[in-house]
Amino acid sequence: MMKFACKAIALSICAVTSTFAMAEDKPSLYGVTASGNVSATTDYRFRGVTQSSNNPAIQGGFTFSHTSGAYLALWGSSVDFGISGVSTETDATLGFTNSFALTDKIKPVYDVGVIHYGYIGSKSNYTNTYNGKKGLAFTEVFGKLTFPETIFAGDALSVGVNYSPDYWGRSDDFWYFNLGYSAPIADTGLTGLASVGYNKLKNADSLSVVAGGPGKDDNYVDYKLGVNYNFLGILAEVDVVGTNISKSGMTNAQKKPYDTGVLFSLTKTF
């Protein structure tokens, strides 16, 4: 199915920031530390829409961070868009993160940078039917603020914005606005997660390219609600993920990439 939009990593900027925190006590060379991660997930969802045709995916990456706050993150995942010859996503993020004090108690962390999303083989195997452009790759600039200890001890509230001048599938201008929250659940060792994102594309044709469906709108909302737990150095996470993309007139099979779904993943950081 067509990609609606990490990366988190996701997949994601959140994951990059977390990697920095874990990398602080690692050996460094000229102020540079390295860390990595590998994960398996039952479905690779990016901003609510499957990138793996609702099938499992293998993912992993490395982050190189400098004491100044600068970092380079490399990440990859298996993908399945139903396009022959395209099975791998490779992303590179160059960014800078640090904190500053608004008040004695409010000290947010900022994260700014640029991400390039690459798809091996896509330039020769995919053509946008609306404008004739070839390839899936795109580049985003991003900015994010994370506010720790907003309500409870150990929690974090984040707000972010991403922009691409030519989004996935060469679909022109795109904006993404995201609000996220995480907090420990009492003394259980569990962490609760929630996020909501607003995806604004150039027009309905652009939405039909990146998210599929009838393409009635030029925007949609994605959401996630989940919980994770770290055991034996492995982070296990269960998420409920979905969108409000219009599925009017679609069969059940056609709705599945955008329907609300339950995902399970295991991640090892080293």
Mean pLDDT throughout 247-263?
Answer: 88
Report domain extents, the chain: 96-269
Query: What is the pTM for the complete model shown?
Result: 0.89
Query: Each residue of 206-223: pLDDT tens digit?
Result: 998 988 767 678 999 999
Mean pLDDT throughout 186-212?
Answer: 94
* Mean pLDDT, rounded, of the chain: 90
Residue 144 vs residues 97, 102, 110, 130, 203: alpha-carbon distances, Å: 9, 15, 6, 32, 26
Residue 137 vs residues 128, 133, 170, 242: alpha-carbon distances, Å: 12, 11, 8, 24
